[in-house]
Amino acid sequence: MEFLNDMALFVEVVKAKSFRGAADIIGMPNSTLSRRISALEKMIGLRLLHRTTRKIRLTEAGQIYYERCKRIVDEAKLAHEQLGEMLAQPSGILRASLPVDFAVTYMTPLIAEFARLYPSIVFDFDLTSRRIDLMSEPFDVAIRIGELENSQLIARPLAVLPVYLYASSRYLERSGEPAEPADLAHHECLGLMKTSEWTLHDGVHTTKVSIGSRFTLNSVRMICRLAALDMGIIMMLEKIVADDLASGRLRRVLPQWHGTPVPVYAVTETRLLPAKTQHFIKFLQEHLSKV
């Protein structure tokens, strides 16, 4: 059951009506070709080609075999062309895992635009706050915010987005407006999960502040709501708090300082990606960096 390749070689030889000719076409030394065809004949137990030193002619068996082989090889080529189209023509279902709040705010308009560009792609998004296991779950791609843990996964950077500090006016009135990063140590700093310190930059200096909070939670949206309800200071991506900022529910704290810009990655389980995934990632790379 290891003769399929030799069938393809046989087809080439018959087409070229010559071993050397076929070898040149395939790009293979004629010695190999000759041996491979002989091996094929030996395995079948029948002579396929009648060879003179100058000519080759199909035997009766060879004639029959050639007809079959040609069909098979052509079909194989077709199958691969079809796969090639999957690489070239984006289509199919794109399954992606997205960080819920980031996706809602930053990605929704991009996804809408992408969907308009590629009408053949159907989408299956899983918006979640957990980092799903790409190895075991059938996602084509996952978007990850922040630095990545080590893994076998392939990560492609999409953008690096700035983060700033925000709080409600009422909170600041009540707890006092921080004048420098160190002041944050005495504030309620609402971080995601169990964040223990924030790193701040002012363009020249970098400083780290230990932070504490009564809340441990994994919802960006809820952190923002808490901040809007005067519960503390948050470090957040710009667009997430755009509405709260516009309505005055939140305003920037330490405006000359900003947090370490957050990298956004597209993570896949393999580099061998269908066109839909490739285009999706490329699109995000091109557009996310501009927002």
Q: Which residues bind its own copies (CB under 8 A)?
A: 1-5, 7-8, 26, 41-42, 44-47, 50, 52, 57, 59-61, 64-65, 68-69, 71-73, 75-76, 78-80, 82-83, 86-87, 92-93, 135-136, 138, 269-270, 272-274
Q: Which does residue 186 bind out of its own copies, DNA, none, counting CB within 5 to 8 angstroms by kind?
A: none
Least distance to DNA, CB of residue 245, Å? 42
CB of 202 to DNA, least distance (A): 41
Closest contact distance (angstroms) between CB of 138 and DNA is 12
For DNA, the closer of residues 152 and 247 by Cβ is: 152
Torsion of the alpha carbons at 140, 146, 147 and 151, rounded to the nearest 10:
-20
Of 1 and 135, CB closest to DNA: 135
> What span, in angstroms and rounded, lies between the C-alpha atoms of 194 and 191?
7
Q: CA 266 to CA 143: how far, in whole Å?
A: 5
Question: 3-state DSSP call for residue 82?
Answer: helix
Rg, Å, the chain Cα set: 31
Compare residues 16 and 104 and give the one whose CB is closer to DNA: 16
**What residue 35 binds from DNA, its own copies, none (CB within 5 to 8 A, per partner kind)?**
DNA
Specify the pairing of strand 197-201 against strand 258-259. Answer: antiparallel
Q: Distance between CA 47 and CA 56 in Å, rounded?
A: 12
Shortest gap between Cβ of 133 and its own copies (angstroms)? 9
Nearer Cβ to its own copies, position 54 or 214?
Answer: 54
* Closest CB to its own copies among residues 8, 200: 8
Q: How far is the CB of 89 from its own copies (least distance, A)?
A: 12
172 strand-pairing partners = none
Contacts with DNA, residue ranges (CB under 7 A) = 18-21, 28-32, 34-38, 51-56, 133, 135-136
Closest CB 217 distance from its own copies, rounded Å: 31
Burial class (CB in 10 A: 0-12, 13-18, 19+), 34: middle
Alpha carbons 215 and 72: distance in angstroms, whole number: 65
* C-alpha to C-alpha distances, 132 to 136, 156, 201, nearest whole angstrom: 9, 17, 31
Q: Which is nearer to its own copies, 69 or 250 (CB)?
A: 69
